[in-house]
Every structure is written in C-alpha cells, then in structure tokens.
Chain A
Amino acid sequence: MKSDIILCGVGGQGILSIATIIGEAAMNENLYIKQAEVHGMSQRGGDVQSNLRISSDPIHSDLIAKGAANVIISMEPMEALRYLPYLSKDGWIITSSTPFVNIPNYPDMEVIKGDLAKINNVIMLDIETLAKENDVPRSANVILLGAAQKALGIEYSKIEEAIRSVFGRKGDAVVEANIKALALGRAAQR
C-alpha cells in the first residue's frame, strides 16, 4: 500500500493535528512514514502545508513529487488549488468550502469553485457549519479527515484508534467529540 498525501490550509486551522492522527494510525499498522512540514510562519496567518507519505515499503524522499499525490486534504478552498501540480490525474481533493479571507486580494469564490469543479474527484464540505450544528466546534478538521478516510487507504477503525491515543490525555470529552466528528465526515461524503 502506498499513499502520498498533501495536507494544507492556513496557520492555526489544525492541519498538523490531522497529520498526527494519520501518522499514528499508520505507525500502528507498521507502515513506513515520512511527514514533512514547514514551521515558524504557521502562527502568522500564512499558508501551511505538510507532505505525508505512507507505504508498506521503505520511503526515500520526504517530499512528494509533482503529479504523485493521491489526495489533497485542505482546510481552505484556495489553498487546495495551490498544490494542484502535485495531484495525480485521478487523485482526490477533499476540502472545506469556507474561505479564509485574510489577504486583500482574495479571489472571487465563484472562480475558486469553478477551478475546483474542473477536477474529477473533489469533495467540498461545509465543515465549519457541520461542526457548529453538531456541537463539535473545535473538531472541524477531524470532520474533514472523516470525509477523506476512504481516499487515504487506511481503515476507519484504525483512524478511530489513533484519535483515542492522540487525544487520550486531553480527556474523554475531547476524544468523544473527535470520534463524533470523524463519523460526521464519513457520513457527509457519501
């Protein structure tokens, strides 16, 4: 099995938490993992991305080559498009639909939607609303993960286990909120 995943969004949206959960699930499956990220600028409203590679064979490069990513998981719609050259032709984009407008020249959302519509395999979800309506306001990122699970190639139950171990020390309430969020994501992408 092999999965090359790009996670992206704006600093502070919880992208690296998703990467941690996937990484934990992969390690429990004894898969090889490499997960590269760039720190420092993430707190300051800049774009953030992580290259996450999982495989049953040893992995060499920490970075994903162009046209090689199976999935782009994005907390922000414009950011998903930034990594388009890295997506394989039949790859999946799973993205939040809520724009994060912290720059003066943010493009028209209709243009962004149009560009996303050109890709064959796109799931766009209003994770912010879903999170609020279902009383899991701080777990929008895990809803996104639930929606992306199938495209990742990792079993759902393994991701649930990973959530329990990653969030365990934050208490039962936090764990259950994230388990619920994962399920919401899975249900929403059907």
Chain B
Amino acid sequence: MKKLLLLGDEAIALGALHAGLSGVYAYPGTPSTEITEFIQGNKLARERGIHSKWSTNEKTAMEAALGMSFMGKRALVCMKHVGMNVCADPFVNSGMTGVNGGLVVLAADDPSMHSSQDEQDSRFYGKFALIPTFEPSSQQEAYDMMQVAFDYSEKQKLPVLMRVTTRMAHSRAVVQVTESPREENTINYNAEASSWVLLPANARKRNDIVCAQQGQLEEDAVNSAYNKYIDAADKSMGIIASGIAYNYVNECYPDGCPFPLLKISQYPMPKKLIRRMCEECDSVMVIEEGQPFIEDILRGIMPGNAVIKGRLTGELPRTGELNPDIVKKALGMPTGECFAPCEDIAPRPPALCKGCGHRDVYAALNEVLKEYDHPRVFGDIGCYTLGFLPPYRAIHSCVDMGASITMAKGAADAGQWPSVAIIGDSTFTHSGMTGLLDAINENANITVIISDNLTTGMTGGQDSAGTNKFEAICRGLGLSEEHLRVVVPLPKNMPEITQIIREEINYQGTSVIIPRRECMQTLQRHLKQKKAKEEKK
C-alpha cells in the first residue's frame, strides 16, 4: 500500500484503474472532468491501452460503455448531474439489459450550482432505474468503493451508480492505494441476446427479474460495510447522514455523536436500519447533501405522527450545499464567534478572458441587432453563456445542451424574427446537430452562430469532437452553401462580421455562421508546450 494526496475525482479514477478497468467514457462536466483527465494522463492506463478519449456526449458515452460491458470488460461512465439527463435513455435501459463486464456510472452532483443550471440529485436516477447506488463519504471510501462497485455489478449483473458531490470530487485528502492493481477482464460471449434485445417479450421477463432482485439489493445495503448504525445513549433524536453529510456531523461532535447515528453510503435505502432508528428514537434528523431524497421516502415509511426533521421542516435549508455551520445550526449548536462580513467588498463574477473570440462575436452581434425591433438570441452552455453578463447582455435564454438551435427554431415557428442561436463547437456536436437538421428540413428562418474556439473551454480546454468537421457536417445536413459563412472573430474584422450577420439574418431561411479562432487559454498552453519541446531538442 502507498499513500497519495488525491482529489476525490482522482481517487475514483485510480480506484477504477486498480479494479481492472478497460475503458472510461465521458463528456467534460464540472465536477467530474478530472476523473477522465487523470486516466488520460496515467501511466498504467497508457500501458494497458485503456480507452479514455472524450465522447461527443453523455448518451454516446453510456452506450459505448454498455458495448464494452456487453463484451465482458469493465467500463466507467462519468458525468455531471445534468449529464444524467442526457444519458437517461441508455442508463435506465441498462437496468433492463443488465451487464456482462462490470459497469459503473459516476454522477458528480453540484449542490449550490457552483457551475450548473440546477442542483438535481442523481440518487433519484438510481432508484428510477432500479439499480444499486453508492455514495462514498470520503476520498478513501471513493477509492475503495470503486472495486466494490465493479465486483457488485458483476455479481448482481446490474450497472451500479456511484454518486459524489463537488465538495468531495474537488477536495484532496491522503488516500491509501494498492501497489498491485487488478487485471482487466478478457472478452467473453456470455451476453445473451434474450436479455439485451429489448423487444417487449424479452423486456417483460427482464423487468420481472430486476423487480424481484430489489429485495436482495436492499438486504445487501442493510449488511453493507459502508452503511453503519452507530448506537448512542441519547435517544431523544437519531441522525441519518448520507455521503459527505456524515463528515459534517462528525465535525460537530469531535468526541463522538451523543445520538444514534446512521451513516448511509449504499442504496436501496436500508429500511431495516432506518426503522430501527425510528422505533428507538423520539425524532429523526436527516442530513443529506442534495435534495431531500431520504427524507421524502422516510415520511412514506414512518407512521403519520413520527417526528422527522430535515430540509422539508426548515432545520436545514431546502436548497444549496451543506457546510459545517449549517449542520451545527440544525443540531442546535451555536456558530463559532466570528467577524461580521465586510461590507466594502464587491462581487467578482467570472468574465470572458481578454482577447477571447466570443467577445468579438458578441460585439458584432449586438451592433447588428440594434437595427431590428425585437431580436431574440437563444444561448447555450459554455464560456459564451457569460454573454448574459454586462457589457454584452447578448442572450435571452440558456437552458440545456443544444437548446439554442431548437429553441430558436421553435421561436421562429411562432413568428419571431430575428431568431438567432449562439452555440459553441463542442456543444454543437454534443446536441446541436440534430436540432440543426430539424431546422434545415423545414428551412426554418433562424441564424445559427457556431462560435468555434477549437476546444471545450469552460471545463478546462478538452478536445472538441467536431474540430475541422463543422463545414462538412453542415453541408451533410443539407445546409445550402451560400448560407454557410466562415469568419475570423477579431476586432479588425468587425465590418466583415457585421455584414455577414446582417445578410444572414435578412435571409429568410436557415443560415450558419462559423466565427473561428482558437481559445486564448488553449492557445497559450499549446505555445508553452511547443516552446518546451523546442528547448528539449
């Protein structure tokens, strides 16, 4: 065994490699991105030829992983919480097909939305798909539970969901790791078509089997090494704490919790342990990171007059992430004496980098749109979402990956003009192409701007799936050549860019404009790498 200082994400990645992983499939998304990046940079992964290239989106990632599992090898899928929405179709149906090689889906949730549009709780997805969910409480547990997850997946022949949150994914701690990583599986042909071809006749059989399995999954959770019932003398209250919430409770009681404490890190919910707490204690406090998943179900298990406290009764705030002060307050302890917040500080929101190509695109777009009465600009997810903020205030919506193009088309269908969509290169290949096909098929009166900075920028500059292919993709989807315009977004090109935008807005049909210039951050990184290579020579 050796000790390493690892981010939660890195512990997960190394845990998977040491468990005999053959492939990781993912799309960048905070706070999960570092898992795949770690595997991409890892020596053992390179030696073993582990698949680790980025997928176009979370759905293609999930499906490819399912294919690897079908062949008997172990696969990991990684995404942020909203990514679960994109892969929901294959994810839920992977519960129906079952697995051959172990399959672990890692969802990294973002309570308090440090970098997201919502704070949805991926545990609901595990329950929805009828599969086991693991929720480690620490970086060490995350590492250890990866092998447990793959083994359990292979034993139960079901995918396993592992759920973490920002404050563990992006937090470092010392982790003990093995020095003898396990071997990968070899290919086998055990996957049976009668399970994997989800015609109704087959799917009904699988559904019966999976439903019947739930009792075993729950019993395993009751007996899990990661769910602990720690009894104590004061039965006026029992505390249920899941995932990292367990740490905040222990932080409040350095000499040991005086109340019975149930740590939950494996689902389905260990109802037997929960019932014991409810029977032995006068009240139960549920402390969980995310939405009131356990708390809600608890109110269904317990008789009507049971006293259950948590996010739904106000002891904990309904929204936002937990922290030691919030949990202290819920447990009735005073906050430490501290300074009042300083009133003279100003917020410092993120902004587009100086010299960013998106700035030139927005400057040109705003300039042209002044000439129209009620233009509407539908935005998308990436650095360019910051175009909402001053000085640009350029976009009117941003909902989910790819929605810019499809919403622009829907608005045009409703009679809106100008209806402009702005989308990045990675987001376009992730989920924009199908919407553009819809638009072209109806010659919808929209102007689509694919602001191509040759990278997946906001998440740290990962490779973009469609680089050098955008013009061909647009032509392939049937876009007419005269309305496919390419330009370099620089201040000196403003007259050219504004003229192009004006022409394409005035054209009553589908247009695509591609302003293309490399992201300043990746450009600098590439120049540094080039310089280092030349110095070595």
Contact = CB atoms under 8 A, between A and B. Distances in A.
A27 B345 CA distance: 35
Interface residues of A, number: 50
Contact of B346 (A44, A78, A87): A78
B415 to A, nearest CB: 37
SS class of chain B's interface: helix, strand, loop or mixed?
Answer: loop
Interface in B381-413: 383, 386
Contacts of A89: 337-339
Contacts of A119: 339
Contacts of A158: none
A38 B116 CA distance: 12
A46 B348 contact: yes
B199 interface: no
A174 interface: no
A111 interface: yes
A67 B335 contact: yes
A30 B510 CA distance: 63
A41 B383 contact: no
Given A39-B170, A44-B353, A82 B335 contact: no
A60 B250 CA distance: 6
Size bracket of the B interface? 35 or more
Given A24-B5, A36-B171, A65-B323, A86 B348 contact: no
Contacts of B3: 27
B6 to A, nearest CB: 10
A10 B347 CA distance: 12
Contacts of B172: 23, 33-36
B248 A66 contact: no
A23 B171 CA distance: 12
SS class of chain A's interface: helix, strand, loop or mixed?
Answer: mixed
Given A10-B348, A62-B244, A37 B340 contact: no
A82 B342 contact: yes
B328 interface: yes
Given A27-B5, A82-B342, A102 B351 contact: yes
A105 B346 contact: yes
Interface in B164-178: 166-168, 170-174
Nearest to A89: B337
Contacts, number: 146
Contacts of B383: 44
Contacts of A32: 173-174
B90 interface: no
A38 to B, nearest CB: 5
B495 interface: no
A86 B335 CA distance: 11
A65 B325 contact: yes
Q: Which one of B30, B167, B339, B344 has the greatest number of beta carbons of chain A within 10 Å?
A: B339
B167 A63 contact: yes
B250 to A, nearest CB: 4
A182 B323 CA distance: 33
A86 B345 contact: no
A107 interface: yes
A188 interface: no
B154 to A, nearest CB: 31
Contact of B460 (A39, A45, A82): A39
Contact of B248 (A35, A44, A60): A60
Interface string A10-33: 110000000000011001000011
A33 B353 contact: no
B251 A46 contact: no
A64 interface: yes
A43 interface: yes
Interface string A78-109: 11011011111100000000000011011100
Given A38-B170, A63-B323, 7 more contacts: A11-B350, A44-B386, A60-B251, A66-B336, A67-B338, A85-B338, A107-B344
6 A-B pairs with the lowest CB-CB distances in the bound complex, closest first? A67-B338, A67-B336, A46-B350, A36-B171, A44-B350, A65-B324
15 contacts: A35-B172, A38-B166, A39-B31, A39-B115, A40-B458, A40-B460, A44-B350, A44-B383, A60-B250, A65-B324, A67-B337, A78-B345, A84-B340, A85-B338, A88-B338
